[in-house]
Amino acid sequence: MIQRLLTIVGEYFIFLRKVFSRPEKWSVFFKKLLFEMDAMGIGSMLIVSIVSIAMGSVITMQTAMQIESSWIPTWTVGFVSRTSIVMELCPTIISLLLVGNLGSRITAEIGSMRVTEQIDALEVMGINPASYMVLPKVIASLIVNPVLIIFSICFALIGGYVTIVLIGNITPYDFMDGLTYCFRVYDVVYAVTKTFVFAFVMSTVASFYGYRIDGGALELGKASTQGIVVSSFIILVLNVLITQIML
């Protein structure tokens, strides 16, 4: 078991070495990069916005229900909701959502090219398939995912505000007062840093499992599942480590 794990880890780092090599043609690389950014960003915006609004609404309602004491200021609801959304819920939950959405897409796309022997054809032509196919996806993920998380935070806060307006537990003014109370830019830096690391893990692990497929459609399905599970596990472990380091 340990030997197998070490073998996979070694193959992963060898794969990364192939990925982060100089592209054959920069013009082709930038064209593929723009395509991947468009596919990842625009393609994920709808699901990210819906989940973020719902998540912001739920966390605000739960916070408002828990803080009912007259000893606690009403603006605490906005403060606690903002802190939870910015520092943990959006960076981690949305990243796990993107693992299932984008990660499975990356694994399936690269795995299908392996199954149909397109990767072998690139190697015969003297092209580094890892760099040609995977590097644009990794760079696009590192650019797009933090932007999606920023939008996610905004949508979640809007969802919380709309919820307060509808349920009327506290005034919208008190909620906004809590949102702006003791705001630290470092909280956003912390969230974006986590997202950046999570994006790298998601894109490289998903690509790795798609790249190393040996078989047909059945193995492609297994690789997609393995990529999602392993990426999610690594993200959860790194979430604890980054929180311990940065906070």
What pTM was computed for the model? 0.91
Q: How many CA atoms are closer than 13 Å to the CA of 30, on its beta-carbon side?
A: 3
Q: Indicate the pLDDT class of residue 34, thresholds 50, 70 and 90.
A: very high
Greatest Cα pair distance, the chain, in angstroms, is 73
CA 70, 75, 79 angle in degrees (round to 5)? 125
The pLDDT of residue 115 is above 90: no
Phi-psi region of 62 (alpha: psi -120 to 50; beta: other; left: phi over 0): alpha
Q: Mean of the pLDDT values across residues 7-29?
A: 88
Alpha-helical regions (H) of the chain: 2-19, 26-66, 76-84, 95-98, 104-115, 118-124, 129, 135-167, 172-180, 185-211, 217-246
Task: Give CA–CA dist 215/41, Å, rounded.
Answer: 31
Residues in contact with 40: Cβ distance below 8 Å, sequence separation at least 6, in sequence order: 102, 140, 141, 144, 145
Please report the pLDDT score of residue 122 as a whole number.
Answer: 83
The pLDDT of residue 69 is above 70: no
> Buried b vs exposed e over 140-169: b needs ≥16 C-beta within 10 Å?
bbebbbbebbebbbebbbebbbebbeeeeb
pLDDT digits (tens, 9 = 90+) for 140-191: 999 999 999 999 999 999 999 999 988 877 888 888 998 888 888 999 999 9
Nearest to 92 by CA among 239, 206, 214: 239
